[in-house]
Amino acid sequence: MEKKGWDGFEIGAMLRTFDGAVRDIATTLPENRPYSQSSSFTASVADWRIEKPLFNKDYCIDCQFCWVYCPDMSIISRDKKMIGIDFDHCKGCGICVEVCPTNPKSLLMFPEQKDEESALAEWPKKEKKADTEVKED
């Protein structure tokens, strides 16, 4: 889509988030919404990152802590399952990694250039705590 310049918008005009009508936004998932070019959803802050979180679904318990604490709506959860990270809107703050309760963490920060395959290959193994068995909730 061609972007309008600063003088392409009417003065004092409303910016419409959607092209066309959406009956009920609160129950329409982002992939079904007709975002217009005025919505920041169509923009990207990917270049803010120096480190990115990567997701290992083998250890994920779908607790959704990362979803609720993500400040950038970048954790994609569908049908109560965490399915991935939205790298257009992730700013790489690292909150999701901090709040991840699993052992080992199912989200870890890696340098921006790291490819997913090699990251998954070198994912740390479960840490054993002395004597006691670690219980995963």
Partner 1 sequence: MSEIKKIKNLKEFSTSADRFEGANLLCPGCAHSIIVREVLNATNDDLILAASTGCLEVCTAVYPYTSWDASWIHIGFENGSSAVAGAEAMYKALKTKGRLKQPDRTPKFVAFGGDGATYDIGFQWISGCFERGHNMMYVCLDNEVYANTGGQRSSSTPIGASATTTPAGRISYGEKRNKKDMMAIMAAHGAPYVAQVAPNKWKDMVAKIQKGFAAEGPVFINAMSACTTEWKFAPEDTISISDLATDSLVFPLYEIIDGTQLNITYRPKNIIPVRDYLGAQGRFKHLFTKQNEYLIDEWQARVDAKWDYLQRREEASV
Sites of contact with partner 1 (CB under 8 A)? 3-4, 6, 9, 15, 17-18, 24-30, 33, 37-45, 48, 62-65, 67-74, 77-80, 82, 86, 88-95, 97-99
* CB nearer partner 1, residue 29 or residue 121: 29
Q: Is 106 exposed, middle or buried (0-12, 13-18, 19+ CB in 10 A)?
A: buried
* CB nearer partner 1, residue 124 or residue 128: 124
Number of C-beta neighbours around residue 120 at 10 A: 13
Give yes or no for a contact between 50 and 76, defined as CB atoms under 8 angstroms apart.
Answer: no
> CB 16 → partner 1: shortest distance, Å?
9
The secondary structure of residue 109, as a DSSP letter, is: E
> CB 134 → partner 1: shortest distance, Å?
21
Give the H or E element holding residue 89.
none
> CB 96 → partner 1: shortest distance, Å?
9
Report the alpha-carbon distance of residue 59 to residue 32 in Å, rounded: 29
* CB nearer partner 1, residue 81 or residue 128: 81
* CB nearer partner 1, residue 43 or residue 134: 43
